[in-house]
Structure 1
Amino acid sequence: MRTRIAALAAACALALAACTSIPTSGPVSEGTGEVEGAEPIVPFAEGPQIGDSVNATVSGFIQATAAGFASDFSVAREYLTVPARNQWDPLAQVTVYDSGALTPDYDEGAGKVVYSVPVAAWLDDAGRMVEAEAGTQSQLQFEVAQDVGAQWRISGLDDGSLLAEATFNRVFLPVSLVFASADGTTVVPELRWLPQTNVATWAARELVAGPSPWLANAVTTGFPAGSALAVDSVVVTDGVAAVQLASQSAGTPEQRALAEQQLRLTLTALPGIRDVDVTVAGVPLVAEEADTLTREPVPESVAAVFIDGRLGLWDGDELLVVPDAVGALPAGSDELATSYDGTRVAFRVDRDRIVVSDALAGGAPDLIPAEDAGRAQGTMEVTTMVEGADLVAPSFDRYGWVWTAPAVDPDGVTAVAEDGTVMELDARWLAGRVIEEVVPSRDGARVLVVSRAGNQTVAEVVEVVRSEAGEPLSIGEPLQVGANLGRAIDAIWVDDLTVALLGTSSGDESAPLWLVSVGGRTTEDAAVPDAVSISARHGDRSITLVSRDGTVRERAGTGWSQIATGVDELAYAG
Structure 2
Amino acid sequence: MLNKFFLISLSLLISACGNIPTSSSVNIGPEFGSNDQNSIIRVIASRPQPGMSQEQIITGFLNASASSDNDFAIAREYLVPSKKNSWNPTKSIEVYEGQGQFEFINENQIDFSAALHSQVNETSRIVFANPEDQLLKTFKLEKVDDQWRINIDFDGLVISKTDLDRSFSFYPLWFVDPTKTFLVPESVILPKAITANATRLMQLLLLGPSEQINNTVITAFPKGSSLSIDSVPITNGVASVSLNETVLKAASLERQLLASQIVKTLTRIPEVKSIQIKVGTQNLSILNAPLNQTASTWDKFYSDSNYSNVAYFISENKLWKNNAETKSLTGKTEIDSKLWSYGTSNRSENLYALVDETKTNLIINSYSPEFKETIFSSSNIGNPKIDVLDTIWVTLNNQVSVFSSDKKLNLIAQNFAIEDIAEIIPAPDASRVLLIIRSVYGTELRLANVIRNPDTIVLTNIRKIMRDGFSITKAVWQDETNILYLDSGSQPVNVYSLDISTGASRNIYSINGAQDIASRSGQVTMLEINDGTILQRITGEWKVISNSQSPNYPN
Q: What TM-score, normalized to structure 2?
A: 0.80
Instruction: Identify the residue that residue 79 of structure 1 maps to in structure 2.
Output: 78
Distance 2:248 2:457 in 1: 30
Structure 1 gap segments, 5+ residues each: 1-7, 16-36, 362-381
Give 3-state SS (helix, strand or coil) of 1:130's partner: strand
Give 3-state SS (helix, strand or coil) of 1:67's partner: coil
1:340 aligns with 2:347: yes
Which residue, out of 353, 357, 360, partners 2:361? 353
Cα distance, 1:163 vs structure 2: 1.7
Alignment of 1:172-251 (within 5 A): 172-197=168-193, 198-246=196-244, 248=246, 251=249
Aligned residues: 509
Task: Decide whether aligned partners of structure 1 residues 49 and 279 sit closer, same or farther in structure 2, where only a CA change above 3 A counts.
Answer: farther
Task: Decide whether aligned partners of structure 1 residues 162 and 232 sit closer, same or farther in structure 2, where only a CA change above 3 A counts.
Answer: farther
Give 3-state SS (helix, strand or coil) of 1:483's partner: coil
Task: Decide whether aligned partners of structure 1 residues 537 and 409 sit closer, same or farther in structure 2, where only a CA change above 3 A counts.
Answer: closer
Task: Decide whether aligned partners of structure 1 residues 229 and 58 sit closer, same or farther in structure 2, where only a CA change above 3 A counts.
Answer: farther
Instruction: Identify the residue that residue 364 of structure 1 maps to in structure 2.
Output: none
Distance 1:99 1:233 in 2: 38
**Higher mean C-alpha deviation, range 116-125 or range 202-211:** 116-125
- Summarize deviations over 1:189-219 as a string: whole Å, max 9, x none: 1121111112212211111111123322222
Alignment of 1:154-553 (within 5 A): 154-197=150-193, 198-246=196-244, 248=246, 251-254=249-252, 255-286=254-285, 290=289, 291=297, 293-297=300-304, 299-300=307-308, 302-321=310-329, 333-349=340-356, 350-356=358-364, 383-406=373-396, 408=398, 413-417=401-405, 420-427=406-413, 429-431=415-417, 433-453=419-439, 456-466=442-452, 474-504=458-488, 509-523=491-505, 525=507, 526-538=509-521, 543-553=525-535
**Higher mean C-alpha deviation, range 191-200 or range 282-291:** 282-291
Tell me the amino acid that sits aligned with residue 543 of structure 2.
Q
Tell me the amino acid that sits aligned with residue 494 of structure 1.
Q
Which residue, out of 530, 555, 561, partners 2:542? 561
Give 3-state SS (helix, strand or coil) of 2:473's partner: strand
1:138 aligns with 2:135: yes
Distance 2:480 2:40 in 1: 26
Instruction: Identify the residue that residue 122 of structure 1 maps to in structure 2.
Output: 119
1:151 aligns with 2:144: no
Cα distance, 1:384 vs structure 2: 3.9
Distance 1:164 1:455 in 2: 24
Give 3-state SS (helix, strand or coil) of 2:85's partner: helix
Distance 1:325 1:229 in 2: 58
Task: Decide whether aligned partners of structure 1 residues 347 and 532 sit closer, same or farther in structure 2, where only a CA change above 3 A counts.
Answer: farther
Distance 1:286 1:403 in 2: 41
Question: What RMSD over aligned residues (CA atoms) do the two structures have, in Å?
Answer: 3.7
Task: Decide whether aligned partners of structure 1 residues 324 and 174 sit closer, same or farther in structure 2, where only a CA change above 3 A counts.
Answer: closer
Give 3-state SS (helix, strand or coil) of 1:495's partner: coil
Task: Decide whether aligned partners of structure 1 residues 131 and 38 sit closer, same or farther in structure 2, where only a CA change above 3 A counts.
Answer: closer
Cα distance, 1:568 vs structure 2: 2.1
Cα distance, 1:498 vs structure 2: 2.6
Distance 1:190 1:211 in 2: 7
Distance 2:51 2:265 in 1: 48
1:42 aligns with 2:42: yes
Q: What TM-score, normalized to structure 1?
A: 0.77
Task: Decide whether aligned partners of structure 1 residues 65 and 343 sit closer, same or farther in structure 2, where only a CA change above 3 A counts.
Answer: same
Greater length-normalized contact order (CA 8 Å, ≥ 6 residues apart): 1
Q: Is the 8 A contact 2:229 2:243 kept in 1?
A: yes
Give 3-state SS (helix, strand or coil) of 2:42's partner: coil
- Summarize deviations over 1:475-521 as a string: whole Å, max 9, x none: 43422333332333322112212333323366xx2113344433432
Tell me the amino acid that sits aligned with residue 414 of structure 1.
V
Cα distance, 1:316 vs structure 2: 0.5
Instruction: Identify the residue that residue 54 of structure 1 maps to in structure 2.
Output: 54
Tell me the amino acid that sits aligned with residue 478 of structure 1.
I
Task: Decide whether aligned partners of structure 1 residues 231 and 56 sit closer, same or farther in structure 2, where only a CA change above 3 A counts.
Answer: farther
Tell me the amino acid that sits aligned with residue 384 of structure 2.
P
Give 3-state SS (helix, strand or coil) of 2:74's partner: helix
Give 3-state SS (helix, strand or coil) of 1:486's partner: coil
Identity within the alignment, %? 23
Where is the strand percentage greater, Structure 1 or Structure 2?
2
Q: Is the 8 A contact 1:215 1:462 kept in 2?
A: no
Cα distance, 1:535 vs structure 2: 0.6
Distance 1:99 1:444 in 2: 37
Greater Rg, structure 1 or structure 2? 1
Cα distance, 1:395 vs structure 2: 0.7
- Summarize deviations over 1:347-373 as a string: whole Å, max 9, x none: 3344443224567x9xxxxxxxxxxxx
Tell me the amino acid that sits aligned with residue 52 of structure 1.
M
- Summarize deviations over 1:419-457 as a string: whole Å, max 9, x none: x25432333544363432111110111122222145632
Task: Decide whether aligned partners of structure 1 residues 106 and 556 sit closer, same or farther in structure 2, where only a CA change above 3 A counts.
Answer: farther
Give 3-state SS (helix, strand or coil) of 1:258's partner: helix
Cα distance, 1:245 vs structure 2: 3.8
Give 3-state SS (helix, strand or coil) of 2:215's partner: helix
Alignment of 1:4-19 (within 5 A): none
Q: Is the 8 A contact 1:66 1:167 kept in 2?
A: no
Tell me the amino acid that sits aligned with residue 127 of structure 1.
S
- Summarize deviations over 1:365-411 as a string: whole Å, max 9, x none: xxxxxxxxxxxxxxxxx94443345545311111222123545566x
Task: Decide whether aligned partners of structure 1 residues 285 and 479 sit closer, same or farther in structure 2, where only a CA change above 3 A counts.
Answer: farther
Distance 2:81 2:236 in 1: 41
